[in-house]
Amino acid sequence: MSPPAGEYLSLIDAASLLGMSPRTLRRWLRDGRLPYELSEAGEPMLRREDILRHLDPPDEE
């Protein structure tokens, strides 16, 4: 089974894009700070779109 539409990143690639360690990103996922899905192997998959949104949040007025 392939991941749903959209580009997905591994935990390591997502952590690198966010500038943090994979351990910190795992903690963020556990705390619900970013959405993710699990691969068939049980590894987290994060959508690039969600990560980029986190890096550049919309202005709140």
CATH of the domain at 37: 1.10.1660.10
- Any bridge partners for residue 45, and if so which? 10, 37
- Judged against a pLDDT cut of 70, whether residue 51 lies above it is answered with yes
Give 25-41 pLDDT, tens digit per residue. 999 999 999 999 999 99
For the entire predicted model, the pTM comes to 0.79
Expressed as residue numbers, the domain containing 46 is: 11-55
Tell whether the torsion through CA atoms of 11, 13, 19 and 21 is positive or negative. Answer: positive
Per-residue confidence (pLDDT) for residue 41, from 0 to 100: 94
Q: Report the domain count for the chain.
A: 1
In angstroms, what CA-CA distances link 27 with 33, 58, 61?
A: 9, 24, 30
Averaged pLDDT, 4-16: 88
* CA–CA distance, 1 with 3 (Å, rounded to integer): 7
Q: What is the distance of C-alpha 53 from the center of its chain? A: 10
51 found inside a domain: yes
Per-residue confidence (pLDDT) for residue 1, from 0 to 100: 44
